[in-house]
Amino acid sequence: MSRPVLTDNAARRRAKPAVSVLIPFLRDDPSELLQLLDEEAASVAGAVEIVVMDDGTNDPDLTARLQAQIKAMALPARLITLTKNEGRSKGRNRLADSARGGSLLFLDSDMRPDHRRFLWTWADLVAREDPAVAFGGFSLLQAPTDARFSVHRSMALKSDCVPYQERARTPEKYVFTSNLLVRRDVFEAETFDAEFSGWGWEDVEWAMRVSRRFTVVHVDNPATHMGLDTVEALAGKYEQSAGNFARVVARHPDIVGGYPSYKAARLLKKVPAIGQIRPLMKRAATTAWVPTPARAFSLRLYRAALYAEAV
C-alpha cells in the first residue's frame, strides 16, 4: 500500500458519526458531489461523516482544491490522497479503515443524490433498523442524454435502474457499491476480495458471500449514475471483466447459474467459431447508424461471448 496523505476538517475532530460515507475516485473530480452532500449537514446533525479517497490521480491542482473544500465543509470530512493506485477492492478496504461510523455508505464519485434528504434517509434507516446491508438503488434522472451514451443508457435503464420491490426478489444480484450501506461488523466479516482486478463483479461477488450470512435489504433512496460510457468504453470494461466473471462462477455456481448472462454465455460457448463471430458483435454495437436497441443487444451478446470463455 502507498503511504497516504490525510486532510481532515475541524468538524471531524469532534464528531461521533453513525454513518460514514466512503467515496473513492481516480481521475475524477468529486467536488460537486461533496458540495451536494454538504448541503444536508444541518439535517443530519453530526450523524454522518465523509471520507473521500484519491486512488492515485496525482493531480496537484485537484488535490489542493479538494483539500480546501474538505476543510471548509460543515460535514465532518477527511480526504485520503494516494500517489499509487491500489484498485477498487483495496481502496474500499482502506476507506473502511478510516471510517468511524457503525455503518458504511459506499458511494461512487460519479453519483448525484436524487433528492435533498438523501443522507437523512440513510441516517434515519440506520437509527431505526440498523440493517446489515441495504442498497438504495440508482437512476439516470440527472445523467447526460448525449447520443454517444444512448446504448449505455438503454442497457442501464433495463438492467440496473430497477425499482426496490423488484430488486428485493433477488437481493444479491442488485448490489453495487455505487449506493450501498453496510454495517461495520458485516464488512469486517466479509471484506471485498482484493484479488479481483480490472473492472466488474467484485461488488456482486461480495454480495453473494454476504447474502449467505446476512439479510440484504433494498430501499428507495436512489442516486443518479452520471458516468455513462460510450460503447467503445463499455466494451473495454467488459473485456476486463471476463476474468472476474470466471472467479464468480467458480465460487458461486449455484447463484450465478440462474443469471441470464451466465445462461447466454453457456449457449454461446456451443456456437462454432464464436471467437471469429465475436468481433462482428462488437462492430455492430459500435456502428452509429444501427438503431440503439439493436446496438444494445449486440453489446450484450458481445459480453456473453466474452464470458463464454469463462464458463
pLDDT at 200 > cutoff 90: no
CATH of domain 5-228: 3.90.550.10
Residue range 215-231, pLDDT digits in tens: 999 999 999 999 899 99
95 CB burial (10 A radius; 0-12, 13-18, 19+)? buried
Distances from the Cα of 88 to the Cα of 4, 104, 182, 297, angstroms: 16, 16, 16, 28
Distance from C-alpha of 153 to C-alpha of 146, rounded to nearest angstrom: 10
Residue 77 phi, psi (nearest 5): -150, 150
pLDDT at 197 > cutoff 80: no
Q: pTM for this structure?
A: 0.89
Residue range 20-48, pLDDT digits in tens: 999 999 988 999 999 999 999 999 999 99
Q: Where are the alpha helices (DSSP H) in the chain?
A: 10-14, 31-38, 41-44, 60-72, 88-98, 118-128, 150-159, 164-167, 184-189, 202-211, 231-251, 253-256, 260-269, 274-286, 292-307
Residue 228 phi, psi (nearest 5): -65, 150
Report, in angstroms and rounded to the nearest whole number, the Rg of the chain calculated over CA atoms.
Answer: 20
pLDDT at 12 > cutoff 90: yes
Residue range 275-296, pLDDT digits in tens: 899 999 999 999 999 999 999 9
Distance from C-alpha of 211 to C-alpha of 18, rounded to nearest angstrom: 23
- Residue of higher predicted confidence among 45 and 3: 45
- Residue of higher predicted confidence among 120 and 2: 120
Distance from C-alpha of 60 to C-alpha of 146, rounded to nearest angstrom: 31
Binned at pLDDT 50, 70 and 90, residue 306 comes out as very high
Distance from C-alpha of 37 to C-alpha of 238, rounded to nearest angstrom: 31
User: Contact, 161 vs 140, CB < 8 A?
Assistant: yes
pLDDT at 144 > cutoff 60: yes
Binned at pLDDT 50, 70 and 90, residue 163 comes out as very high
Amino acid found at 18: A
Q: Can you give the residue ranges of every domain in the chain?
A: 5-228, 231-311
- Residue of higher predicted confidence among 177 and 283: 283
Over residues 191-195, mean pLDDT: 78
pLDDT at 174 > cutoff 90: no
Mean of the per-residue pLDDT values of the chain: 92
